[in-house]
Amino acid sequence: MVGRHLLATPEWNISLRSVWHSIVAAEQLSFHRAASVLGTDQSVVSRKIRALEDQLGVSLFERNRAGVRLTRAGKEFINQAKSALSDLDYAVKSARCAGNGSRGQLRIGFFCSLAAGFLRQLLVEFARAHKTVTIDVSHGAPRDHIQQIRDRAMDIAFFTGHPELPDCDVELLWHERVFCVVPEGHPLGSVEAVDWSRLRNETFIVSHDEPGPEIHEYLIMRLATVGFHPKIRRLAVCRESLIHLVAMGFGLTLTSESTIATPFRGVMFKPICGQTDVLPCVGVWSPANDNPALRRFVSLARTLKAARAAARPE
């Protein structure tokens, strides 16, 4: 019943301009002064208000030589009209804000560390510039985030690699170096950077969950040769616990550059020497997503990417 009432065609067709003329006239107590405020002729104001009164079937003003004053019906109408126009003005401004991305919601998924790096800077700068946009962040596996993007439950996700996703926009935004995590006192602690040849006989630990399988494959690609397979243990622990286990002597592990900004007791982070040991980091979103906040976020990401490229030494 309520829905039918809201969707019903109004029985009136009142000009908003006539309503506004009436409000100004009520404030000025004079059609002449109202015309001056509105930048029009007194006859125009008088004609529009008369037409409005004819539509309503009531007199809004008592007219005399000194000016005008509201009737009882006029006072009721003007009070309600002011409230209605205020609501309409708010609706218009809200729609414009939502349309240009200055207000709204942005849902972001990530699988890298926020301790430092590109994504941290991007989030900080966007939040500072768009204080009325609610930013929801979710840490999780890339495969889950990709499905959420397809389901329009997430706007954009960030992770390493460069997946083939024909139904999504995938853009390379930054790179992160690969670091080896070693315990304090380890022989590799005295070197500036680690060569793969010095890691062949080490035991590595990775997590069962992502990014464990990805790191496992990376270690196999870099260390496995004919007749040799690296020693890798898979443990049911999170990334943070994995680094603590390195400090406790359970083995070495690999991590990305953004992680090393987080202080961990008992470990050292050593960069891998190889020039190819950098991880591509991408942003993924749906081209069908028309969220204006997303478009502004992607634009800022591209600006930040360009600024970093320009600042990089030749």
In this prediction, residues 186-201 reach a mean pLDDT of 91
| CB neighbours of residue 196 within 10 Å | 14
pLDDT of res. 301? 96
| Mean pLDDT over the full length of the chain | 87
pTM of the model: 0.64
DSSP letter assigned to residue 117: S
pLDDT exceeds 90 at position 100? no
Query: What is the Cα–Cα distance from 24 to 253, expressed in whole angstroms?
Result: 73
Q: How far is CA 134 from the centre of its chain?
A: 7
pLDDT bucket at 86, cuts 50 / 70 / 90: confident
Query: Does residue 313 surpass a pLDDT of 80?
Result: no
Residue range 151-192, pLDDT digits in tens: 999 999 998 888 889 999 999 999 989 999 999 999 998 999
Amino acid (1-letter code) at residue 211: P
Structural contact between residues 165 and 135, judged by C-beta atoms closer than 8 angstroms? no
Q: Tell me, what's the pLDDT at 3? A: 43
Q: What is the pLDDT of residue 245?
A: 96
Q: Has residue 101 got a pLDDT over 90?
A: no
| Whole-number percent of the chain with pLDDT over 90 | 51
Q: Name the H helices within the chain.
A: 2-7, 16-28, 31-38, 42-56, 72-100, 118-129, 142-150, 212-223, 239-247, 292-311
SS3 196: helix
Confidence bin at 96 (pLDDT 50/70/90)? low
Q: How far apart are CA 170 and CA 292, in angstroms?
A: 18
User: What pLDDT is recorded for position 95?
Assistant: 66
pLDDT digits (tens, 9 = 90+) for 260-307: 888 899 999 999 987 778 888 999 999 999 899 999 999 999 999 999
How many percent of the chain have pLDDT more than 70?
91
Please check the confidence at residue 63 and state whether its pLDDT lies above 50. Answer: yes
- More confident of the two residues 159 and 86: 159
> How confident is the model at residue 116, as a pLDDT?
87
Contact 170, 161 (CB under 8 A): no
| Cβ atoms within 10 Å of 108's Cβ, excluding its own | 22
Please give the average per-residue pLDDT across 27-53, as a whole number. 91
- The per-residue pLDDT for 277 is 83
